[in-house]
Amino acid sequence: LKNHAPIVLKMPKLRRYVVNVSSGDSEFDGVAELWFDTADDMNTALKSEEGRAVVKDAGNFVSKAYVLTVEEHSLL
């Protein structure tokens, strides 16, 4: 969090950034949520210099990653 988060926070059009850390024995150490208003905003951010820096830095500590684009439905 100390090294990667500041890089993520520089991404353009990023609206919210949440890091969920696994509390148990799991295949994954955690899940990061990067929130954007639109898919176009996300694509703009990922293609930016800052977005490329995020992907490059993630290579230092991420061995497996999945990208899901989702639409939130808040029920409570």
Where are the domains positioned within the chain?
A: 4-58
Residues 9, 14, 18, 21, Cα dihedral to 10°: -60
Q: In angstroms, rounded to a whole number, what is the distance separating the alpha carbons of residues 36 and 3?
A: 22
Integer-rounded Cα radius of gyration of the chain: 13
The per-residue pLDDT string of the chain (76 residues; one tens digit each, 9 = 90 and over) reads 899 999 999 999 999 999 999 988 888 889 999 999 999 999 999 999 999 999 999 999 998 888 899 999 999 9
Q: In angstroms, rounded to a whole number, what is the distance separating the alpha carbons of residues 32 and 2?
A: 14
Q: In angstroms, rounded to a whole number, what is the distance separating the alpha carbons of residues 45 and 39?
A: 10
Write down the pTM of the prediction. 0.87
53: helix, strand or coil: helix
